[in-house]
Structure 1
Amino acid sequence: MDQKLPTIKEIAKRLNISVSTVSRALHNHPRIGLRTKMQVQKLAEELHYEPNTLAISFKQKKWFTIGVILPELNEQFFSQAISGIEDVATAQNYTVLIGQSHDSMERERMLVEAFRKHRVDGIVLSMAKNTDDYQHLEVLDKYNIPLVYFDRIPKGGQALSVSSNIRSGAEQAVRYLLEKGHKRIALLKGPDSLIASAQRQEGYTSALKQHGLQLDPDLIKEIDLSPEGTRAALTQLLALPQRPTAILCFNDYVCFDAIQAARQAKIRINKDISFVSFANLPICNFLDVPPLASVEQHPYRQGQLAAEMLLDIVEKRKTITDIKPVILDTELRIF
């Protein structure tokens, strides 16, 4: 027969004290004397007592669990962000549940619903690339489940969010290429459903304007972030009467796909066409021919700040109205 797990009542009975005294002693309440605390904690250890987390959750109306939804865990950017989220959550005794949307709004919707049913205390989300309807996210308000976005955030800029200054990063990248003598610079900007795509184009356009260069719409390509989409866009750029001498890519993964396609077209990388991208992934340091530079977006720090923002609300240290969106400065890292 399985041995029954020890309870607070059993400890109280053995020591001939009240259940409330045991509970307070286990939590180091200042009103409980040192001798009683030591007796309670020693017996609890001998009995291998463990708190009933389910009962605690019901009493406190908290589950000490947060959900995290991101596009792809195998992308280094998001794995670094997860590390930041987990470090903050673990330090505050919260468990992290992770779900991948695989850049599908429908899968994202299913994960939000699953986390809601599992009664997570809050959700940290980096949106799928095709999310253009926020109803499945807005419904969380009804259940008092706070939602914090990171990196891929909704349009409008009013949501609880942590992101990096993409516009500034694009300006830095284009200025760098202009200073190296490039005048025909292309942009692989990503899907229009993402606000980050527009921010890249804004920074790109601003830098060209500052240098007195006219915008050529043929050099701007919307891509869906897939290898096939990137290859198709590169083929279009190479077919132009005046092809670009440099390309600013949506992120390092898009850049890797573009470089591979360029090599297949017998293009000399960073000689015939130079490449600059976003994310500054560690893998860039191990490539034979990396992009010339990449914009650092601080994924670990984004994850940290998003988790801190969420737990400040969950723990009632701050209210939603007290918190403003956080935008981190970007830096161009040259390889």
Structure 2
Amino acid sequence: MEKKPVTIKEIAKRLNISVSAVSKALHDDQSIGLRTKMRVRAMAEELNYEPNQTAIFLQKGRTNTIGVIVPSLVESFFPQVISGIEEVANKHNYVVLLGQSMEDPEREQMLLETMKKHRVDGILISISKNTFQYDHLKKIKETIPLVFFDRIPDMKEIHYVACNLVSGTVQAMNYLLQQKHRIIGMVNGPEKLFSSKERLEGFRQALSKNRLKYDPSLVVNSDLSKESVIQAVKELLSSKRKPTALVAFHDNAAIDIIEYLKSIKKDKTIPVVSFANLPMSSHTVFKPAASLEQYPYLQGQKAMEVLIDVMNNKSTNAAANSAFYKVILDSRLVILK
């Protein structure tokens, strides 16, 4: 049978002193004499006593644990973000509790509640592509410091770290426009997703700056599944104004698009530009012509730094609680072909 952990009650009983005296001795309290401290420490070592970290954390009002929720770890983008988060978290003695929403708002809500029950000190979250109602996010941020990254909700008064997707889309469009493409299509993400709206805004801005008319038929939304992405491409190619180039929501969508274009022998004539610049993008045979670097590792670092500052200011600086971090990183177009 496994032995139960030794408690300070056992040490107190062996030494015939109070539990309070043992606790103070182990915490080097000045009210306890040196001889008693030495006796307590010796007995603790003899009994292989280990402090109850949960009790200590609850006593301090913090657990040195932060929760991180991402849509999925299948894409290499989010593992890179997590690496950046953990690099900063480790330096500040925080442990990361990780969960995947799997693009399910209900699972996302369940993870938030679970992390709250585990008394995490703060939460970092990139919302699911299907999260359009924010009640669960508003409820959590009232009690726990909450910082969003990459995929952020269309909410006011939030802390977040993200890339400038509007200017990034303008860069992608300018690259294609410089190659004399005048009919450019976009395979966007879910219409209500905030990052989809940002991409659309960049798409329209680029056309306007180049005195080209925006044609809504050249932007097709998808749920980002392979089937939905391919259906969007089919819709674009059947349009009266057939696009000669495409902008994809991200690298995974671009790979699905290029694979499909190859199957219908149009890959040579329709270049695709995407977002994320994932490591695999430069190695696959279906790589896009260019991709926007979104710096996932740096996003993770910055998000964790913001969360630490928010947690530190939670109870000590009322003025800081009325200000909100909006850290926006500039995207950079990377030519892959």
Q: Could you tell me the TM-score, scaled by structure 2's length?
A: 0.87
> Which of residues 20, 25, 45 is equivalent to 1:22?
25
Residues 31 and 67 (structure 1), Cα distance of their counterparts in 2 relative to 1, 3 Å cut: same
8 Å Cα contact 1:171-1:207 kept in structure 2: yes
**Residue 334 of structure 2 aligns with which residue?**
333
Residues 69 and 262 (structure 1), Cα distance of their counterparts in 2 relative to 1, 3 Å cut: same
TM-superposition CA deviations, 1:266-324 (whole Å, max 9, x none): 212xx310000000000012123411110011111111221222222323476433442
8 Å Cα contact 2:126-2:149 kept in structure 1: yes
1:52 correspondence with 2:52 = yes
8 Å Cα contact 2:67-2:115 kept in structure 1: yes
8 Å Cα contact 1:170-1:200 kept in structure 2: yes
The percentage of counterpart residues that share the same residue type is: 45
SS of 1:204's partner is: helix
Residues 167 and 12 (structure 1), Cα distance of their counterparts in 2 relative to 1, 3 Å cut: farther
Residues 7-156 of structure 1 aligned to structure 2 (within 5 Å):
10=11, 19=22, 22-25=25-28, 48-142=48-142, 144-156=143-155
TM-superposition CA deviations, 1:191-222 (whole Å, max 9, x none): 12211111111111111111111112211111
Residues 256-275 of structure 1 aligned to structure 2 (within 5 Å):
256-268=255-267, 271-275=268-272
8 Å Cα contact 1:170-1:204 kept in structure 2: yes
**Residue 218 of structure 1 aligns with which residue?**
217
**CA distance in structure 2 between the partners assigned to 1:209 and 1:36 by the alignment:** 79
Residues 12 and 307 (structure 1), Cα distance of their counterparts in 2 relative to 1, 3 Å cut: farther
**Residue 278 of structure 2 aligns with which residue?**
281
**CA distance in structure 1 between the partners assigned to 2:234 and 2:77 by the alignment:** 27
- 1:13 deviates by 8.0
8 Å Cα contact 1:12-1:19 kept in structure 2: no
**CA distance in structure 2 between the partners assigned to 1:93 and 1:33 by the alignment:** 31
SS of 2:98's partner is: strand
Size of the alignment, in residue pairs? 329
1:303 correspondence with 2:304 = no
8 Å Cα contact 1:157-1:325 kept in structure 2: no
- Opposite residue 209 of structure 1, the aligned amino acid is S
Q: What do you get for the CA RMSD once the two structures are aligned? A: 2.9
**CA distance in structure 2 between the partners assigned to 1:121 and 1:188 by the alignment:** 39
8 Å Cα contact 2:26-2:40 kept in structure 1: no
8 Å Cα contact 1:158-1:325 kept in structure 2: no
1:196 correspondence with 2:195 = yes
8 Å Cα contact 2:25-2:32 kept in structure 1: no
- 1:6 deviates by 4.8
**CA distance in structure 1 between the partners assigned to 2:170 and 2:37 by the alignment:** 61
TM-superposition CA deviations, 1:81-100 (whole Å, max 9, x none): 11112222222222222211
**CA distance in structure 2 between the partners assigned to 1:72 and 1:321 by the alignment:** 32
Residues 84 and 35 (structure 1), Cα distance of their counterparts in 2 relative to 1, 3 Å cut: farther
1:163 correspondence with 2:159 = no
- 1:64 deviates by 2.1
TM-superposition CA deviations, 1:90-145 (whole Å, max 9, x none): 22222222211111112212222222222222211111112111111111145x21
Residues 289 and 44 (structure 1), Cα distance of their counterparts in 2 relative to 1, 3 Å cut: same
Residues 285 and 12 (structure 1), Cα distance of their counterparts in 2 relative to 1, 3 Å cut: farther
**Residue 182 of structure 1 aligns with which residue?**
181
Residues 46 and 166 (structure 1), Cα distance of their counterparts in 2 relative to 1, 3 Å cut: farther
* Worse-matched range after superposition: 276-285 or 116-125: 116-125
> Unpaired segments of 5 or more residues in structure 1?
none
> Unpaired segments of 5 or more residues in structure 2?
none
- 1:158 deviates by 3.2
**CA distance in structure 2 between the partners assigned to 1:37 and 1:89 by the alignment:** 33
